[in-house]
Amino acid sequence: MHTSKHDVLVIGGGIIGLVTAWRAAQRGLSTAVADPAPGGGAAHVAAGMLAAVTELQYGEQTLLDLNLASAARYPDFTAELSAATGLDTGYRRCGTLAVALDADDRAQLRDLHAFQTSLGLEAQWLSGRDCRRLEPLLAPGVRGGLRVEGDHQVDPRRLAAALLRAAELAGVRLLRSAVARVECAADRVTGAVLADGTVVAAGRTVLAAGSESGRIAGVPADVLPPVRPVKGQILRLRIPPTHAPFLSRTVRAVVRGSHVYLVPRENGELVLGATSEEFGWDTTVTAGGVYELLRDAHELVPGITELPLTETLAGLRPASPDNAPLLGRTALDGLLLATGHHRNGVLLTPVTGDVMAEVLTSDTGELPAYAGAFGAQRFAAARQEQTV
Ligand code: GLY
């Protein structure tokens, strides 16, 4: 039996777990990450839209502030990662165009524009013709759109690889095993036992296991985070040099009421996503999911059918009851959360790293003021009432 002792154990080596570990190690904390395949998780599937404005949802204005704060960190964050590792994250300041296909879609986008404007966000309304001037391969039927110059993209797989390397270089110990159970003694979490038998003792344990965070053995039921998996199916296509430039920016669309997005990368990859399905932990790619994505994308950009389809994949977004992240201390001493990021995990990675580093190193363990609305315990009272 191996034993390992650290200031901080992070359960989950996805981008949220890795950024937490990297930032903690940079602040001088001895840190380990437990994950059988670090650098994987939902980010391996995600498209990497950094679309705080284009993906704005009604009722999520508080989350918008955190999303914008994280988007603003991206240039320095990716520059720091690249300088530390020599790896490129694929951060691309290309802007986003959100378009509408029929009259109802156009009305929906007009409402979104009014909402964005009421919040002081920058988004420019364009006619269908102006949309096609920007992106000539859009279908003639496109009725109008929103040009959002501040919404960019990153390549989540490259981001994960860079975070993994940065964490290692900062001294983070990678424990390539699943967690068998979290260990508690005298009403505090003391670390975890891994599936390979390693016993990890830690002053603080951070649960950053994405959609698995709500079912980690050993965590008392009333402390387990209320996180549910939301499945997203996604496709990857390749733009041959003969077809470039295919799209010059991210294109999002409402196509007869359903949402689809196309994220073109500089390396010729085109990511097409994504479904949103609540079917538990199932990650099957279905004919129906692929059909719907291709059908909608084809209505939007007919030339898509000529491109080689290179990958179909499904992943699980970790969603909290209000779709915003759960950060910081739980009711159980020694246990913290960094999970529940739902549709915004990639976008929120830089700010999550900063928040968690602050919580892990401050005397009080409080969240910084800008993240105060995203405390890990904000659903605890309601859950206790439900169990009484
Ligand atoms: N933010 C894009 C998605 O979750 O599909």
DSSP string computed for 1-30: --EEEEEEEEE--SHHHHHHHHHHHHTT--
Per-residue model confidence (pLDDT) at position 347: 98
Cβ 343 under 6 angstroms from ligand 1: yes
Q: How far is CA 132 from CA 91, 145, 168, 315, 350, in A?
A: 25, 10, 45, 32, 34
Q: What are phi and psi of 261, to 5 degrees?
A: -140, 150
Per-residue model confidence (pLDDT) at position 384: 61
Per-residue model confidence (pLDDT) at position 1: 66
Q: Which ligand 1 atom is at minimum distance from the Cα of 51?
A: 1
Q: What is the DSSP letter of 151?
A: -
Strands (E) in 162-256, as ranges, are: 173-175, 179-185, 188-194, 199-207, 228-238, 250-255
Cβ 49 under 6 angstroms from ligand 1: yes
Sign of CA dihedral 131, 57, 214, 184: positive
Per-residue model confidence (pLDDT) at position 386: 59
Cβ 342 under 6 angstroms from ligand 1: no
Per-residue model confidence (pLDDT) at position 380: 85
What residue's CA is closest to ligand 1, atom 4?
Answer: 343
Compute, in angstroms, the gap from residue 188 CA to the centroid of ligand 1: 35
Q: What is the DSSP letter of 128?
A: H
Ligand 1 probe mutation, 45, 49, 230, most atoms within 8 A of CB: 49
If we measure between CA atoms, which residue out of 220, 218, 224 comes closest to residue 195? 218
Give the C-alpha separation, 329 to 340, whole Å: 14
Per-residue model confidence (pLDDT) at position 387: 54
Domains, the chain, ordered by start? 3-44+158-227+321-387 (3.50.50.60), 94-150+229-319 (3.30.9.10)
One pLDDT digit (tens) per residue for the chain, 388 residues = 688 899 999 999 999 999 999 999 999 999 999 999 999 999 999 999 999 999 999 999 999 999 999 999 999 999 999 999 999 999 999 999 999 999 999 999 999 999 999 999 999 999 999 999 999 999 999 999 999 999 999 999 999 999 999 999 999 999 999 999 999 998 999 999 999 999 999 999 999 999 999 999 999 999 999 999 999 999 999 999 998 889 999 999 988 888 899 999 999 999 999 999 998 999 999 999 999 999 999 999 999 999 999 999 999 999 999 999 999 999 999 999 999 999 999 999 999 999 999 999 999 999 999 999 999 999 986 666 655 4
Cβ 315 under 6 angstroms from ligand 1: no
If we measure between CA atoms, which residue out of 48, 134, 150, 92 comes closest to residue 267? 92
Cβ 232 under 6 angstroms from ligand 1: yes
Compute, in angstroms, the gap from residue 47 CA to the centroid of ligand 1: 7
Ligand 1 probe mutation, 151, 154, 261, 323, most atoms within 8 A of CB: 261
Compute, in angstroms, the gap from residue 306 CA to the centroid of ligand 1: 25
Q: Which ligand 1 atom is at minimum distance from the Cα of 55?
A: 1
Compute, in angstroms, the gap from residue 218 CA to the centroid of ligand 1: 31
49: which strand partners? 153
Compute, in angstroms, the gap from residue 342 CA to the centroid of ligand 1: 8
Q: What is the DSSP letter of 93?
A: -
Angle at 79 between CA 73 and CA 82, to 5 degrees: 135
Using DSSP, how many helices (H) and how many strands (E) does the chain show?
Answer: 8, 18
pTM, two decimals, is: 0.96
Q: How far is CA 383 from CA 103, 220, 221, in A?
A: 43, 13, 10
Ligand 1 probe mutation, 343, 346, 348, most atoms within 8 A of CB: 343
